[in-house]
Structure 1
Amino acid sequence: MKIKPHSCRIVLFLACSLVFLQDDANSKLPHAGLIAAGATHSAALRSNGSLWSWGFNHFGQLGDGSVFARNAPARVGSENAWLYVAAGGAHSAAIKTDGTLWTWGCNEYGELGSDNNAYLSIPCRIGADTTWTAVSAGCIHTMGLKSDGTLWAWGRNFDGQLGDGSYTDRSLPVKIGPDNSWVAVSAGTHHTAALKSDGTLWVWGGNSAGQLGDGTTSRRNIPVQIFADNRAPGAAGKIVQFASRDPSDKDIPPGISSRTGARVVWSAVAAGGAHTAGIKSDGTLWVWGYNDDGQVGDGSLATRTAPVQIGTDTHWADVTAGCLHTAAIRSDGTLWAWGSNYHGQLGDGTTIDRTSPTKVDSAIRWAAVSAGCMHTIALKSDGTLWTWGRNTYGQIGNGTTVNISTPVQIPGWP
């Protein structure tokens, strides 16, 4: 079903306020792609491979063939062949077990990758490839990984968030650089972060709040490598290389003093509204960017233009970044959240903002978490699905439109 192309811009601005959202797509995590929190909608896979979605649906982002909001999970099609799902500003994307990529929802800037601007309320296959392994839906752009390690991008590109060296929107997937070593990608509001197989971290796109972590506030339209000095917590980040097409182009950009420091290996990354979070292979957690609501988690409200270590814990396993909040899971299965809590999106039973990680509840069985614009969804190790936060459009999925500040279980999972 095609939808008349009313503009998404106003709705997305209202939904995400100053910034929009991200959706995690970290292929290295065992539960990656099973749940996805978008700006004002949610999606999740069941153990039988069926796909379900709920929340705001004006642009068909639920994929159920309608444009009506759902306050409880609605099935997307009848197939049991879904493997990976991502939810963006007003669009969604998913991969089937056969490696095909499907998208639906708002398409004002080509974020569906269908070579036009038609909005769709049911999944549409993108191209003929059967090698897609991961996908991440940003506010108005989309990123995808193929099994050969190549990275692809499409949609809005005014801040260079696609990473193709231009500021031109793309309505079809475009390959990002010559590399075939990408293993994880996360699309934020207007920026993107990704990991290579050697554990290096690369970022590009909008940088008005330092969300790229390169020590500047200059936008980048090609991937730049980020280095966080692991010799001292909170040390300044340094760019070590631009992903230039010219091998001789090794200049250090303005605001960066050197390429010095030991090699750092990153294991996870999440791009949010205007902040970014990453976990190193040593289990330490680092966050940077916009921090007016405490979403960096370093106990302050100061914007950070370079990675800052959060506490001294070395057991962080998974992280997700929303519009104005952040959530992470430790290796012991505990879930922690911080940042804006106006709608209860931190899940701690209050609506008080937190500037440092706060334990969500007493459970020690959390396995995956996804932060939307103002709500959060998570899976426990027993496969049960839990949600909390803003619920204006039914994005919590519990059959109501009442905000909830503590995790509520959604029937049907596992």
Structure 2
Amino acid sequence: MLRGHGRASAQCLRSRLRARPRALPVLACVLATVLAAASPWSPGVQPTQAAFGAGAAGTAAAWTPQGWSIRPMLAAGANSTAGNSLPASMVGTSFRPTGTSYAAVSVGGGFGCGLAVGGQLSCWGSNGFGQLGTRASAGGSASTPEVVGSGWGYVAAGSYSACAVRSMAPDAGTLWCWGAAGVGHGLLGNGAEQGGSRPVRVGARDGWARVSVSDLAACAVHTDGTRWCWGSDAYGVFGDGAVTPAPVTSPQRADAYDDWLDVRMSAGGGCGLRRAGLHCWGTTAFGTVGAAAAGPLQLTPRLVSREFVDYDFAGNNGCGIKGDATLWCWGMGALNRNGGGDGADAALPRRVLPGRAWRAVRVTPAYTFATDAEGTVWAWGGAAEPAGPASGFLQAAYAGLGATPVARLAAAGSGSLQAAEETAFALLGAVDWVAGTPRTAWAGSAAPAGAAVTLPGAREIGTRFRVTSAQQAVGVRVHLATADVAAQTARLWRSDGTLLATYAFHRSPVPGDGVGSWLYATGEPVSLAPGADYVVSTTVPPGGRAVAEAGAGAMPRASGPLQLPPGWGVTGTSAGDLPVDAPADAAGYVVDPVLLAPQSP
């Protein structure tokens, strides 16, 4: 029991889980030709967002109904700042930007911007800080894209502001920013501390190639390979070797290196790709830097790896893909955010999800999304609020998912993946399917009729079920009726005792979090044959509690293709073995199968 000091510890844990930036602008993959070029940015080989993935340039944008979603960002009126909330029409639904020729999007704090193939830039969503860049003043919102202008080549959105690089003469290569009205901290980089609602030029230089914006800081890479930053460096997020209390209102050079190719900023620091490899800096909590570091802050860029050909970084986590298509992640382990599955923080990159070849990875402060060589998009991690990874998995607050398929491209390599704020993702290209709300025996997020009961000893409790058509199981869920509902591990069986899959629950480290909601354990899909009997089960330790519906186990249930036959409730006294016995009073323990529900975009 947490009492006195324990409550303070719980509050500390919650604050640590919430200590993450609101947004990470999504940048292009760095092409192999750039890595091989004679200089960091040689004419003809400069990577652009339009070149994000093989075959992506110039293709039509097929925005998936769930995969490209404003839904997880903000509830209507949720933000306490006046005017900074999404219109009710955009909450609880997916949002597809108008148009069919977007080359890239970047999504920030409740707003997004899209760059068309022809260079037209549009923004939508909240304008509470003037971040749309289209209006005379801050306030209100846009439920459809508003045109900022033409002749743009790159865009990055942050929590309160956005920046973009011009691609059209006579000002090609110039950098412009807008938003942050009332925020201060010099976020627009134009020499003024306060922001505004129209684009303003950042400094007098041209030749800018990359820009990344977090909550209160921004950094950009020049074509000469130098890195420059502005905004708030109060916590050393520039990686320039110092902590600067006063706002930096114009770009200042961050280090002496001249081989930078890319940079990605977050509230606690940043990462960037140099010719010498991937380097990170900032807070060292949870292993965020991904390299051995002393003290709470790493104030200068530190080498993480020379082998990554793709990478991403946000919040307290980072991931990279090596040339052999293996995936490596580091940082916070709680809620399975680093994909390790064991809840442990990783101070150095460690390989995750072996057995697949990986093409792209995108990290948000809550979830990570990655595309494998077959074109399947996977998601893992957890949010510090009840929001799933834009795929219908409405997860319990402070609970994480194992790697779960959430979309599939029509053909491997036919599209590109981008992150969208904290819990959503975007796909550019032809999409075969995207995961909708999963099929379950108990309806949606509604609480079951049963109550939590104490089990006398270690048990494996479960539910027998069958499907009426071919389906894919992706996990098991239980309902957290009380803080001490004690499910730990879940399993999927054939009724003959063949173990088909084992899943782990990634619960909050804070007791009581998520009470009253469903907890999912998810993973690799398993094909189910119609008419065959299966069992999902969960292990409950001695004296643990589980939700049971008294007498319901003798009554059949049906939900779409899912059928629970009479006597569906089963239990066993050997944890980890197939449960086959009927519980007392014909009770049915609420152990719910979770089936993938693919939808056409």
Q: What band does the TM-score fall into relative to the shorter chain?
A: 0.7 to 0.9
Distance apart, 1:142 and its partner CA: 0.9
Q: Deviations over 1:182-211 (max 9, x none)?
A: 111111121111111111111121112211
Q: Of residues 95, 107, 121 in structure 1, which corresponds to 2:127? A: 107
Unaligned residue ranges in structure 2 (runs of 5+): 1-13, 32-46, 78-83, 410-430, 432-601
Alignment correspondent of 1:388: 380
User: Which residue is equivalent to 2:254?
Assistant: 226
- 1:67 paired with 2:95, answer no
Q: In the alignment, is the contact (CA less than 8 A) between 1:193 and 1:269 conserved in 2?
A: yes
Distance 1:398 1:45 in 2: 26
Does the alignment pair 1:370 with 2:362?
yes
The answer to whether 1:409 aligns with 2:405 is: yes
Alignment-derived partner of residue 275 in structure 1: 269
Residue of structure 1 in register with 2:301 after alignment: 307
Partners of 1:105 and 1:78 lie apart in 2 by 13
**Aligned-residue offset at 1:67:** 3.3
Kept in 2: contact 1:327–1:337 (CA 8 A): yes
Partners of 1:56 and 1:26 lie apart in 2 by: 20
Aligned AA (1:152): W
Do 1:297 and 1:338's aligned partners in 2 also have CA atoms closer than 8 Å?
Answer: yes
Give the direction of change, closer, same or farther, for the CA distance of 1:296–1:373 in structure 2 (3 Å limit). Answer: same
Report the CA distance between 1:304 and its aligned residue.
Answer: 1.0
Q: Does 1:285 align with 2:278?
A: yes
Compared CA separation, residues 45 and 159, structure 1 to 2 (3 A): farther
Bigger radius of gyration: 2
Instruction: Give the deviation of 1:368 after TM superposition.
Output: 2.6
For residues 302-361 of structure 1, give each alpha carbon's deviation from its aligned partner in whole angstroms, at most 9, with x where no partner exists: 311111222xx4222233221222222223322222122322221222322221112221
1-side partners of 2:371 and 2:88: how far apart? Answer: 27
Q: Verify: 1:295 aligned to 2:288, yes or no.
A: yes
Question: What's the CA shift for 1:363?
Answer: 4.9
Aligned equivalent of 2:178: 154
Q: Please report how far the alpha carbon of residue 68 of structure 1 lies from its aligned counterpart in structure 2 after TM superposition.
A: 2.2
Distance in 2 (CA, whole Å) between partners of 1:16 and 1:48 is: 38
Larger deviation, residues 359-368 vs 332-341: 359-368
Aligned equivalent of 1:131: 151
CA 1:140–1:199 in structure 2 vs 1: closer, same or farther (change >3 Å)?
same
Range that drifts further, 157-166 or 197-206: 157-166
Q: What aligned pairs does 1:12-411 form with structure 2 within 5 A after superposition?
A: 17-27=18-28, 29=30, 48-51=60-63, 52-53=68-69, 54-58=71-75, 66-70=89-93, 74-77=94-97, 79-115=99-135, 116-127=137-148, 129-147=149-167, 148-156=172-180, 158-218=184-244, 219-227=247-255, 240=256, 263-282=257-276, 284-300=277-293, 302-310=296-304, 313-363=305-355, 365-391=357-383, 392-402=385-395, 403-411=399-407
Paired with 1:76 and 1:124, the residues of 2 have a C-alpha distance of 10
What amino acid does structure 2 have at the position aligned with 1:56? Answer: M
Q: Which runs of 5+ in 1 are unaligned?
A: 1-12, 37-43, 228-239, 241-262
- Change in Cα spacing, 1:380 to 1:145, as seen in structure 2 (3 Å) is farther
Structure 1 position 64, deviation (Å): 9.9
Which structure exhibits the higher relative contact order, with contacts defined as CA atoms closer than 8 Å and separated by 6 or more residues?
1
Supply the distance in 2 between the matched residues of 1:272 and 1:224 (Cα, whole angstroms).
18
1:409 counterpart letter in structure 2: P
Deviates more, 1:20-29 or 1:199-208: 20-29
* Amino acid of the structure 2 residue aligned with 1:273: A
Query: Is the helix fraction higher in 1 or 2?
Result: 2
The percent identity for this pair of structures is 24
CA contact (8 A) 1:160 1:205 kept: yes
Give me the CA root mean square deviation. 3.2
The Cα shift of 1:90 comes to: 1.9
- In 1, the alpha carbon distance for the partners of 2:85 and 2:92 equals 8
SS class of match (1:26): coil
Superposition TM-score, scaled by structure 2 size: 0.54
Q: Structure 2 vs 1, CA of residues 107 and 400 (structure 1 numbering), >3 Å: closer, same or farther?
A: same
Total equivalences in the alignment: 353
Q: Relative to 1, partners in 2 of residues 1:86 and 1:393: Cα closer, same or farther, differing over 3 Å?
A: farther
